[in-house]
Amino acid sequence: MIILEGKHLTKTYGYNENKVIALNDVSLEIEEGSFMAVVGTSVSGKSTLLDVLAGLVKPDKGMVYLQGKLLYDMNNDRLTHLRRRKMGFVFQFFNLISTHNVIENIVLPIHLDNRQVDEEYVHDIVETLGLTEKKYAFIHELSDGGQQRVAIARALASKPAIIFADETTGNLDAKSSQEVIQLLSMAQRKYHETVIMVTHDEMIAQVVDRILRIEDGKIIQDTKNDE
């Protein structure tokens, strides 16, 4: 079943000789429950693709559908509401609140959306990601890898339809990067999540279902792990 679809996505930045084509007529479909990595050089367009698919950056041309709903046909309020309910985000910079402890950071987006926290589900996430002994610790007491675990838990806690991860391991050492990738993969399987991860980390090939390689705003390779 297709959960997310992009059709003829085009996005440019700048003008004249400074014009950069970040996306050049990109079309793709993403299966529900899959783990897809988007790879490419630093200016390939991979992060722009993620931002467009996540409703964060409007394309110049093209359409994005999440569970059959056309994202950019919505006004800003409706789109923000949909992102809160249907999307989870994990970024390179953890974006955690230093004055809150681990568990407060995890459930904060749910409270901001005026929803009831599923305590049992959150407890299971905390346990799955190895945060049980740290759940009342403050963010500054955690390693970078620990903070990224909290960010993953926060993304999962609202039970989103899809998780977007942008250079999730970019600030981590090799050991922590591998741990985070394995944990994200485990969580994706356990909670039947769909994950799109932009990364330059070659270790991702060990755990994903599909690798999409982008250069100059175009998909140049689309490989599934059973091929």
Distance from C-alpha of 19 to C-alpha of 15, rounded to nearest angstrom:
4
Predicted confidence at residue 34, as pLDDT, reads 94
Chunked mean pLDDT (size 10), the chain, 227 residues: 96 87 96 92 89 95 95 91 90 87 94 91 93 94 90 92 86 78 85 90 79 94 80
Distance from C-alpha of 52 to C-alpha of 87, rounded to nearest angstrom:
13
Distance from C-alpha of 112 to C-alpha of 62, rounded to nearest angstrom:
31
Sign of the alpha-carbon torsion through 71, 74, 75, 79: negative
pTM, to two decimals: 0.90
Predicted confidence at residue 156, as pLDDT, reads 93
Domain extent listing, the chain: 32-47+76-224
Distance from C-alpha of 174 to C-alpha of 209, rounded to nearest angstrom:
22
Residue count of the chain: 227
Do residues 208 and 31 touch, judged by C-beta distance below 8 A?
A: no
Predicted confidence at residue 17, as pLDDT, reads 79
Grouping H, G, I as helix, E, B as strand and the rest as coil, residue 63 is strand
Burial group, residue 133, by CB count within 10 angstroms (0-12, 13-18, 19+): exposed
Which CATH entry fits the domain spanning 32-47+76-224: 3.20.20.450, 3.40.50.300, 3.40.50.12160, 3.20.20.100? 3.40.50.300
